[in-house]
Structure 1
Amino acid sequence: MTVSFRVGRYLVALLWHWITPFLFGAAAAMSVTLVSLQTSVNAVGLHFQNAIANAIEQCAPSDPANAADAEQVKGRAPGSSDHASPIRRTEARAERTLERPPP
Structure 2
Amino acid sequence: MTVPFRFGRYLVALLWHSAPWGFIGFAVGCVFGTLQAVELLESVDDSFYQAMTKVVHQCAPSDPANAADAEQVKGRAPGLSEHASPFGQTEARAERTLERPPP
TM-score, normalized by length of structure 1?
0.69
Shift in Å, 1:7: 2.8
Equivalent position amino acid for 2:10 in 1: Y
Aligned to 1:88: none
2:95 alignment partner in structure 1: none
Q: Which residue type is aligned with residue 35 of structure 1?
A: L
Deviating beyond 3 angstroms after TM superposition, the runs of 4 or more aligned structure 1 residues are 78-81
2:72 is matched with: 72
Quote the offset at 1:68 in angstroms. Answer: 1.1
Q: For residue 56 of structure 1, what is the aligned residue in structure 2?
A: 56
Structure 2: gaps (5+ residues): 82-103
Aligned Cα root-mean-square deviation (Å): 2.0
Could you list the runs of 5+ residues in structure 1 that have no partner in the other structure? 82-103
Larger radius of gyration: 2
Deviations 1:1-59 (A, max 9, x none): 33343332121101011112211211111111111111110111011011111100100
Q: Which has the higher contact order (CA 8 A, sep 6+)?
A: 1
Normalising by structure 2, we get a TM-score of: 0.69
- Identity over aligned residues, as a percent? 53
Partner AA of 1:56 in structure 2:
V
